Amino acid sequence: MRTDSDTIYALPLDEARTLFADYLDGEPDAIVLVVSTGSLPETARAAFDSSFERLGWGLCTFLSWPEGLDDAGALFMAIEGLDPCLLVIAEAGAAQLAESAYRQHIPFRSPFRLNCRDCCAFEDFAGMLQDPAQKQRAWAALKALPHRA
């Protein structure tokens, strides 16, 4: 299979984009991946894009994992195949599945590392946007991630 690039990362990336195409949206070449079970509301997606642009990371790719698809191995394959520099887990369902996939505790609202990549997770990012104080807590958690020049 020929890919657009001759790097060792091109084939797994192309395979992940093909296998999980129905679940992907947003900027296809983004280096930030936001994972949720089900689709995030447009307000949450816009908030992530705006936040990560301000932090120097650019727009996001969104992986909307199908609700009820409790296949931790497939989620692991999707994330590792897409190989983002920065991973955000947007809600508790995705966090629980990621804990199974990576066999690692996922803390909420604080930066952590997952398979050598910077991450942040939320119980309910979209819900946090409904309350000004919670919205500020969400923004503080995102700002705690590394910035990009």
pLDDT tens per residue, range 122-132 = 999 999 999 99
Look up residue 119 and give its amino acid. C
Q: Write the DSSP symbol of residue 23.
A: G
- Model pLDDT for residues 27-83, shown as the tens digit of each residue: 999 999 999 999 999 999 999 999 999 999 999 999 999 999 999 999 999 999 999
| Other Cβ atoms within 10 Å of 146 Cβ, number | 11
Q: Please give the backbone phi and psi of residue 46, each rounded to the nearest 5 degrees, phi first.
A: -65, -40
Query: Hey, what are 133's tokens?
Result: 């104080």
Alpha helix stretches (DSSP H) within the chain = 10-19, 42-54, 72-82, 92-102, 125-128, 132-143
- Model pLDDT for residues 6-16, shown as the tens digit of each residue: 666 677 788 99
| pTM metric for this prediction | 0.92
Please provide the size of the chain in residues.
149
Q: Is the pLDDT of residue 114 over 80?
A: yes
CA separation (Å) from 80 to 57, 92, 119, 130, 132? 19, 20, 13, 32, 34
Q: Quick one: which of 28, 27, 23, 50 has its CA closest to 38?
A: 23
Q: Write the DSSP symbol of residue 147.
A: P
